[in-house]
Amino acid sequence: MGTTSDRVRIGVVGVGSISVRGILPHLTQDDVQDRLEVTAVCDPVPGRAQAASEKFNVPHAYETYEALLEDGHVDAVSIASPIGLHYEQGKLAIENGIHAHFNKTMTTTVDEADDLIESAARKGVKLVASPGEMLRPIHQEIRRLIDAGAIGTLTWAATGSAFGRYHENESVRHGDDPLSNINPAWYFRKPGGGPLYDMTVYGLHTMTGILGPAKRVTAFSGVRLKEREFRGEMLPCDMDDNTFILVDFSKSFFGFVYGAAAGSVVRGRLAIHGTAGTIEGNLLNGKPIDAPDGALPHVVGPHREIQESHVYEDIMQLVDWIREDKSTIVTAEHARHVIEIFHAGYRSAQTGKAQELRTTF
């Protein structure tokens, strides 16, 4: 694929909430058809891939991922299945020479992330791992302000998210057809469930993107809600939903990172405190920071109105990289460092010991 006139053939793996609300609506807009074509979808739920194929005019639908790869209709995949499946599915894509975009989070362990990165390098496969939070102009400007001393000497930072009832209440959960009766049970189960991999990942990508990599962590973690009600059914919950991590960036500068069952301590996704003030969300000492809010490079025209536009942006980073050999800051190495912080946090909570981190980006 050498010239910019070639269209990247994309397969969407998993027709769940993020695909129905975001990925497929974005990638089937007229304004991107000169650069890409969604050629295949797959999902193990009977009838779901076929329904998506009909709704979004995708030529090939599969119930198994292996069948999608074997048929040879794709150059790249966007992996939008439950997080616990991402590593195995990424590995299969790489083995087949298929480029991959991972919806957050790429893997659940740092060793899995190592394996994907090393395998992709050997095979010449390109990997983009959401979320590309440092593409946002507001985050680039915050990093510039901090480097320029806008809040003095940094003292501590905080980021985190809470599950609440967000997933149970999404628009695609309560209907009667395969594209609107999508069960959220996996979000609460091992492996890959819980608020860290699903939600805190955004703020931690931003925190580390602005402040740089961390050195070690210590944490408490456990399951606070043992079950959740969904459409009259009780869903068992065995994945930690209440995790609180202290992060050491070195030189006595610390971060607080949480994924909670409910509740928050940060307005917006990130607060950074210093001796001369605070940046919280898009505010510097309470006043708005001058940056085009949410202005992602590919999110123009109809894409501004479609949900999950940041995911579309990350997929387009991969498309540009394949077509024009334009590399991206949305790297698997950054994703691996965030994954290591989560993974080491769980390990610290189990062992009662601080954990040294070995990755950087």
Q: Sorting pLDDT into bands at 50, 70 and 90, what band is 2?
A: very low
Lowest-confidence pick of 125-139, 215-229, 255-269, 287-301: 287-301
Round to whole Å and give the CA distance between 137 and 294.
7
pLDDT reading at 196 higher than 60: yes
Q: Sorting pLDDT into bands at 50, 70 and 90, what band is 5?
A: low
Q: Half-sphere exposure (CA, 13 Å, Cβ side) for 37?
A: 13
Tell me the average pLDDT across 259-265. 95
Q: Sorting pLDDT into bands at 50, 70 and 90, what band is 295?
A: confident
In this predicted structure, what is the pLDDT of residue 3? Answer: 46
In this predicted structure, what is the pLDDT of residue 1? Answer: 44
Q: Sorting pLDDT into bands at 50, 70 and 90, what band is 292?
A: confident
Which residues of 4-135 form beta strands (DSSP E)? 8-13, 36-42, 60-62, 76-79, 99-102, 127-129
Round to whole Å and give the CA distance between 183 and 235.
10
Round to whole Å and give the CA distance between 172 and 178.
9
pLDDT reading at 223 higher than 90: yes
pLDDT digits (tens, 9 = 90+) for 9-62: 999 999 999 999 999 999 999 999 999 999 999 999 999 999 999 999 999 999
Round to whole Å and give the CA distance between 161 and 279.
18
Residues 8-132+297-329, CATH architecture:
3-Layer(aba) Sandwich (3.40)
Tell me the average pLDDT across 225-242. 96
Tell me the average pLDDT across 209-219. 98
Q: Sorting pLDDT into bands at 50, 70 and 90, what band is 293?
A: low
Sign of the alpha-carbon torsion through 199, 204, 207, 209: negative
Class of domain 137-293+337-356: alpha beta
In this predicted structure, what is the pLDDT of residue 115? Answer: 98
- pTM for the whole structure: 0.96
Per domain, the residue ranges of the chain are 8-132+297-329, 137-293+337-356
pLDDT digits (tens, 9 = 90+) for 120-160: 999 999 999 999 999 999 999 999 999 999 999 999 999 99
Round to whole Å and give the CA distance between 264 and 255.
15
